Amino acid sequence: MKALSFALALCLTIVAIATAILSGPLYQSGQIQLEGALQALQLASVLAVAGALCGILAAILIRPRKPFMQGILALCLLSAGVSFYVTYTTLQDAREAPHISDVTTDTENPPQFDALLSRRQEARVPHEYPGEQIAELQRQHYSDIQTLHTNVTSASVFRAAQQVVQTKGWQLVAVDNDGGIIEASDTTSWLGFEQDIVIRIQHDGRSTVVDVRSVSRNEEQDLGTNAKRVRAFLHELQGRLGIAG
């Protein structure tokens, strides 16, 4: 029983980590669908909990005194905990995220793509804004995503926006100084969602107006990644401009 609980803790933890890690690349390579990747994460979270429980049982039964055994058990428990946390939070995001793949601060007159259109020719998600139904869904779930108004000059905001794009590690595709447009692309780290961003900076006669739009290329369900990107961009831009968020 002692040896079995230790072996199970080790094996379950390794399998949980491997399942979580491989689900992303398998989705990116097209071997499984998004639903399959999420199911793999769900399995990984269950295995992580089972591994942690076996690790606790092994610690109680074996009461290891050798540093090596103590280290192995501690590593199992820590790895199982981290694996469960990462997979559980990702699954929560997936469950709570609305069925949206196009998020913008301006749903009535969203920023438009130009330079990125050639890269979106084979995209499953259209570059045209989907309309009022999605706008209403966004208002329900992402009501905090709003146009940014500031008294900082348009030129200064434009420079700061480019700096944020570079800091975020996005691929800068086009910069239109006259039109106040910045276009960029980004890929999410785990599932490899390819998403395009357009930033529009204008002056309406009273203040500088900043609008942002982030759109998936192929995933109709973005797990909330586009909204997170827009929020993160606006937050960092406000910080650079010294604007209270």
Residue 225 scores a pLDDT above 70: yes
Residue 20 scores a pLDDT above 80: yes
Residue 217 scores a pLDDT above 70: yes
Mean pLDDT calculated for residue range 170-197: 95
Residue 183 scores a pLDDT above 90: yes
Residue 158 scores a pLDDT above 80: yes
Of residues 64 and 53, which shows the higher confidence score? 53
Q: pLDDT digit string (tens) for 72-125?
A: 777 777 887 888 887 888 788 778 889 999 999 999 999 999 999 999 999 999
Confidence of residue 65 (pLDDT cuts 50, 70, 90): low
Q: What is the mean pLDDT of the chain?
A: 89
Mean pLDDT calculated for residue range 221-244: 92
Say whether both 68 and 166 belong to one domain: no
Mean pLDDT calculated for residue range 172-184: 97
Say whether both 58 and 139 belong to one domain: no
Say whether both 223 and 190 belong to one domain: yes
Mean pLDDT calculated for residue range 19-44: 88
Tell me the two tokens of residue 55: 């690790």
**Which value, to the nearest 10 degrees, does the dihedral of the CA atoms of residues 175, 171, 113, 238 take?**
-70
Mean pLDDT calculated for residue range 222-229: 94
Given this model, what pLDDT does residue 1 score? 59
Query: What pTM did the predictor assign?
Result: 0.83
Q: Which domain holds residue 53?
A: 2-96
Overall number of domains in the chain: 2
**225-241 helix and 154-168 helix, angle to the nearest 10 degrees:** 130
Residue 18 scores a pLDDT above 70: yes
Exposure pattern of 27-55 as b/e (b: 16+ CB <10 Å)? bbeeebebeebbebbbbbbebbbbbbbbb
Say whether both 150 and 60 belong to one domain: no
Of residues 75 and 44, which shows the higher confidence score? 44
Give the end of a domain, one of 80, 96, 112. 96
What is the rounded CA–CA span in Å between residue 200 and residue 130?
19
Given this model, what pLDDT does residue 119 score? 93
**2-28 helix and 67-96 helix, angle to the nearest 10 degrees:** 40
Say whether both 84 and 197 belong to one domain: no
Say whether both 152 and 56 belong to one domain: no
Could you write out the three-class secondary structure of the chain? CHHHHHHHHHHHHHHHHHHHHHHHHHHHCCCCCHHHHHHHHHHHHHHHHHHHHHHHHHHHHHCCCCHHHHHHHHHHHHHHHHHHHHHHHHHHHHHHCCCCCEEECCCCCCCCCCHHHHHHCCCCCCCCCCCHHHHHHHHHHCCCCCCEEECCCHHHHHHHHHHHHHHHCCEEEEEECCCCEEEEEEECCCCCCEEEEEEEEEECCCCEEEEEEEEECCCCCCCCHHHHHHHHHHHHHHHHHCCCC
Say whether both 127 and 200 belong to one domain: yes
Given this model, what pLDDT does residue 97 score? 86
Say whether both 49 and 165 belong to one domain: no
Say whether both 169 and 135 belong to one domain: yes
Mean pLDDT calculated for residue range 222-245: 92
